Amino acid sequence: MEVKQTEVAALCNLEVLNLLNEIKDMSVNNSSTGKQLATILYEASQHLQNSCGSQTPSDVRNLLGALLSFPVKLTHNEKLMIVNTPPKTSLELSLIVHNYDERMTEEQIEELIEIINNTSS
C-alpha cells in the first residue's frame, strides 16, 4: 500500500457521507470505474445515511462549538467520537472519554450529556 497524502485529517461520518456522494456523482460520469466501486459506494453510503441521516452540518458545528466552550478539554478523537455516536448516558460517555470519571465531576458529566442532547438532532 502506498501513502499518497501524508497529512490527512480524521473525518466525521457526515463528512465521509458527503465525500462518498461526491465520488458517486463523479463516477456516474465515468463509466469505467467498475461495478465493485459502485457497490462499495452504495453500501457505505447506506450505512452512513442510517447512522447519521438526521445530522446536518450545522448540527456538527453547533456541537463542536459547545464542546469547545466546555470546561474540560476533550481530545480531538473524543470530540470526533461524540459527533459520530452522540452518547445519551454516562455509561456511553465513559466508553468515549478516556478516564472520564477522573477528569470530570458528576455535574460536569451530566452537563456534557445535556449539551450533547441539546445540540444533536
pLDDT digits (tens, 9 = 90+) for 53-72: 788 889 999 999 999 999 99
Based on the fold, state whether residues 76 and 102 are members of the same structural domain: yes
Q: Give the mean model confidence (pLDDT) for residues 86-103.
A: 94
As a whole number, the mean pLDDT across the chain is 86
Q: Is the pLDDT of residue 1 over 50?
A: no
Does residue 6 lie in a domain region? no
Q: Which domain holds residue 40?
A: 13-52
| 21 in Cβ contact with 45 (< 8 Å) | yes
Based on the fold, state whether residues 112 and 90 are members of the same structural domain: yes
Q: Give the mean model confidence (pLDDT) for residues 36-48.
A: 88
Return d(Cα 4, Cα 90) in angstroms, integer: 40
Return d(Cα 114, Cα 4) in angstroms, integer: 41
Query: What angle, rounded to 10 degrees, do the helices at 76-84 and 13-29 form?
Result: 70
Does residue 113 lie in a domain region? yes
Band of the pLDDT at 24, cuts 50, 70, 90?
confident
| 101 in Cβ contact with 94 (< 8 Å) | yes
Based on the fold, state whether residues 62 and 108 are members of the same structural domain: yes
Return d(Cα 113, Cα 91) in angstroms, integer: 11
